[in-house]
Copies of this chain bind each other. A is one copy, B any other.
């Protein structure tokens, strides 16, 4: 231990008699992070929006150690914040400022326990990175479809706790749809062995789906059995420009009917979003001549290459002919497809350079999107004249990242005030249309105060009753979600 860590450890030990000693007995030197400098990355979310404190960061190496840690926390009533790759968008894995919340990092539980190609399944521990799962599946000639920008650093445990979404939901569903079984340590340290590798199992309440998406408030997910899929061996990618968003909604429906499950991506962005990327991200260029109010990146994938480019060409050709879209560019090479994806993926980066973003991660019934956008665009422009709206997202899932850019030099107080106002304007409209104020990012700290406005009192009560049933001492991730 460094002097620094030792000083800190004594302070912790003074504040938490026995806790440190017992944790040390459970996880050893390698499982405790005491040095404030080493702790720092665990106490702050990667966006730098939330900064917390913790008596100690614990890094158990397996389920048994996690169970031992939780048993200690149960007995000592120590609150626990579970953290995976710390790539969340809503502050769900950052402790609060009290200094009382222990951080439990799953990073050392990073073993791929089993790959079963015949059963199309794979058993992994919570700390395994999403990209490692992709690689292990590919090595077995299979495919794990969840795809996120952070896949090189986010963990499966975090993906499960937040029910991660991303760009492959249209075809494959959210994280919860990709899971056969879950292993979790309960708040009292007992282990629920729910690692089933079955496609069918009707023997009682589905506890798996209760833990998935619960943002660390019901227990610690330590491992999961994931579904594997046939590996698509061919892709066909195109860019389309349209005069309005409703045309893209119709195109999406048409492509689904024509191409079936080959349609794996339908990503939308407004002209303003594209313009930001072209301005702020190097080595990008406009995929089409002229301006179009809305753009989409469309991708088909299949286990068979034959006919795939033709199918895309015919389908988009038909849409062009009937005037549904204004222009189309079909990729002739993988390099061209990468260039198109770079435009889509560059939006976040461009946004950071262009202004202070007030972000919304909303979902709507797809049929309600065009009406929502027209209405919200007009309302926000009336509210804040000259405002820049950066509207993009996973149109095929009804999921819009409907962001609003304020000038870079907006003072913080003004930004905060505008954020509250804009959130209200956007979320009230989303709610009225039966939408969700968090499509894929979760509630965490970010939306916690807003949630009661949009969840019915009854649903809130049911969630609280379940929380009470599973975590009666309320030690799991206090201050998040509920």
Q: What CA separation (Å) do A256 and B228 show in the bound complex?
A: 11
Q: Which of A141, A170, A306, A434 has the most CB of B within 10 A?
A: A434
Task: Report A422-457 residues with CB < 8 Å from chain B CB.
Answer: 434-443, 447, 451, 454-456
Chain A window 438-482, contacts with chain B (Cβ cutoff 8 Å), 1 for yes, 0 for no: 111111000100010011101100110111111000000000011
Q: How many residues of A contact B (CB 8 A)?
A: 96
Mark A190-217 against chain B: 1 for CB-CB distance below 8 A, else 0: 1111111111111111110110111000
User: B116 contacts A367, CB within 8 Å?
Assistant: yes
Taken together, the copies of this chain in the complex come to 2
Q: Are A201 and B439 in contact (CB under 8 A)?
A: yes
**Which of the residues B200, B302, B454 comes within 8 Å of A165, measured between beta carbons?**
B200
Chain B residues with Cβ below 8 Å from A454 are 203
CB–CB A202/B458 < 8 A: no
CA distance A365 to B201 in the complex (A): 11
Given A202-B436, A205-B462, A210-B466, 7 more A-B residue pairs with CB atoms under 8 Å apart are A118-B249, A174-B199, A198-B364, A201-B363, A205-B466, A230-B257, A468-B469
Q: Can you list 22 residue pairs at the A/B interface with Cβ under 8 Å?
A: A119-B366, A119-B368, A120-B253, A121-B365, A165-B202, A173-B177, A190-B458, A191-B458, A192-B459, A198-B439, A199-B363, A199-B399, A200-B398, A200-B439, A203-B455, A204-B481, A204-B482, A205-B218, A207-B463, A230-B257, A304-B311, A462-B470
> A residues near B, CB below 8 A?
116-121, 141, 162-163, 165, 169-170, 173-174, 176-177, 186, 190-207, 209-210, 212-214, 218, 230-232, 249-250, 253, 256-261, 302-304, 306-307, 311, 363-368, 394, 397-399, 434-443, 447, 451, 454-456, 458-459, 462-463, 465-470, 481-482
